[in-house]
Structure 1
Amino acid sequence: MRVRRFGAVIGAATALAMALTACGSDTESTQATTVVQKAKDSKKLVVGIKYDQPALGLKKPDGTFEGFDVDVAKYIAKELGVPESGITFKETVSANRESFLGGGQVDLVVATYSITDARKKQVTFAGPYYVAAQDTMVLADNDDIKTAQDLKGKRLCKAAGSNSFRRVTEGPPDGKLAISGVKLVDASSYSECVAKLKAGALDAVSTDDLILAGFANTQKGQFKVINNPISEEKYGVGIKKGDTETCEAVNKALTKMYQDGTAKTLLEKHFAGTGLQLKTTVPQFEGCA
């Protein structure tokens, strides 16, 4: 009798284990393998943005977010089937964008993320959604730096994770001007660069004109952009390496964003009055391969 009861218990336990295993297999087999699939299934996305860049990605005191990158992210999400309420914004600084995508902390990165050959080895890029130009910002009363070549011997900010300083101090392929004698001053972000510039701890900040215009516009009279472009900076949407399905879907959304006039509206909303000549036609995409 005991043997029969013991056998029945073992049989029930085995059946339960098999059922749990089967459920686990079903879950794994239906788990989204691309961001497009996740968006379709869950109606949710985690998007990496900057929190400290005025007019691009800025976290406001009330906990909401504003800026061109934020609005672009919302448009892309909508086209992927995710409502604004389904977006979670996560702070993603220059130094951690690759690791956040690779580790799954974010689904997309829309954070003034310049497309470079080195980054393409780690990340799949959609876009660019905008082509900025690298320029230089100094204090408003600085008459010593009128061109990028005047940065020789000057203190230039080096923001962690950004390649912008290389355009000044190094030659091709990642650099541009190869100006010698530039003194690099470390900073954790471009907001810290601007704070150090204001405090007199450095002489110049050189990075994308949209970033500089955003900072200059919030502190009118403090800074000026010298209007001496160094190179093009192609802002891409960062996606986990190999997710070409999502890349193609995002490119489709970006094309629509320009064709329906939304891009022009957003650019004028955030940068009108800054003196920048805004580009309102669809950028040439890099391709998702």
Structure 2
Amino acid sequence: MRLRRTTTLAASLLAITLTATACGGGDDDSGDGGGGDEIVIGIKFDQPGLGLLTPDGDHVGFDVDVATYIAGELGYEPDQIVFQEAPSPERENLLSRGDVDMIVATYSISEEREESVDFAGPYLLAHQDLLVRADYEVPNEEAINDMTLCSVSGSTSAANVQRDIAPDARLQEFNTYSECLNGLERGRIDALTTDDSILAGYAAQPEHQGKFRLAGLELSNEYYGVGLPKDSEDLDAVNDAITAMVEEGAWDEAVAEHFGPAGYEPEAAPEIGTRPEA
């Protein structure tokens, strides 16, 4: 059973209550020692540098560090965090069904999404770009209309291409970026389009080094937020946690660790409450 703790104080009060019950000789013995207390956080499993499930079962990346820091500020130890995969098309459903407590998964804030979920943050500002083969040239933004692109279903990147960037481009949509990357490597598509932070992670993987490069186009502003259920009581607490991560230097440390090897330098941490221009 999942118990949500919105503040460290609430966690302390809960612990005191449980201890008092135990000392009073209560006969409810769950045997787990921690009351089954955990937080479930949706992340990506296939995004190097951001959210990646390694072969040995570890979760690593910038988003993972952000999620872990937030959980710590809410009173959870690392072993009380359950990471659940959050594919782009399923993020709103995961929150609305209560399958996860929050989502930290390159989740761009948009007016449309804010109709059904709450966003804390943002905690990162990225820009949409193209990942192309190393020998492929994109002379200008207009040329994208003649390309075959791939992105992920339900992503703002796919919507941006069709609506604003290159409405005449041929767009293929898959459930994961890994599928798009496979098509790019095999020459079935001309470019993978999504946020530069995501693309940099793929390009920096040892098996991909030298094969791909970023086109260097800033096609949109993508403000990553922490997705929460609509009307969440945890919104302020999560915003406070992100602020603390930035002020204490942990945000810069995570940026250096996960983006530094790719040569990608994201912009400074955005101000809490910042939103994309309509």
TM-score range, shorter chain: 0.7 to 0.9
Instruction: Give the TM-score normalised by structure 1.
Output: 0.81
Greater helix proportion: 1
Q: Give the SS at the match of 1:78.
A: helix
CA distance in 2, matches of 1:106, 1:229: 32
Aligned to 1:227: 216
Matches within 5 A, 1:132-151: 132-143=126-137, 145-151=138-144
Give, in angstroms, the shift of residue 281 of structure 1. 3.7
Question: Can you give the 5+ residue segments of structure 1 that lack an aligned partner in the other structure?
Answer: 1-30, 171-175
CA distance in 1, matches of 2:167, 2:110: 23
Instruction: Give the TM-score normalised by structure 2.
Output: 0.84
CA distance in 1, matches of 2:101, 2:252: 26
CA distance in 2, matches of 1:153, 1:103: 40
Matched, 1:54 2:48: yes
Matched, 1:92 2:86: yes
Matches within 5 A, 1:120-269: 120-143=114-137, 145-170=138-163, 176-177=164-165, 179-218=166-205, 219-243=208-232, 245-269=233-257
Aligned to 1:14: none
Partner of residue 111 from structure 2, selected from 104, 109, 117: 117
Aligned to 1:36: 6
Partners of 2:239 and 2:272 within 8 A in 1: no
Give, in angstroms, the shift of residue 168 of structure 1. 2.2
Give, in angstroms, the shift of residue 186 of structure 1. 2.5
Give, in angstroms, the shift of residue 188 of structure 1. 1.6
Task: Determine what percentage of the aligned residue pairs are the same residue.
Answer: 40
Aligned to 1:81: 75
- Aligned-CA RMSD value: 1.9
Deviations 1:244-288 (A, max 9, x none): x3111000000011111110000010011433232334534249x
CA distance in 1, matches of 2:5, 2:117: 14
CA distance in 1, matches of 2:246, 2:151: 33
Question: Can you give the 5+ residue segments of structure 2 that lack an aligned partner in the other structure?
Answer: 15-34
Partners of 1:58 and 1:66 within 8 A in 2: yes
Give, in angstroms, the shift of residue 35 of structure 1. 5.5
Aligned to 1:101: 95
Name the larger-Rg structure.
Answer: 1
CA distance in 1, matches of 2:106, 2:42: 11
Give, in angstroms, the shift of residue 86 of structure 1. 0.2
Deviations 1:73-128 (A, max 9, x none): 00000000000000000011001101111111100100000000000011010001
How many residues align? The count is: 248
Deviations 1:168-203 (A, max 9, x none): 221xxxxx33x2421112322111111111111100
Partners of 1:258 and 1:280 within 8 A in 2: no
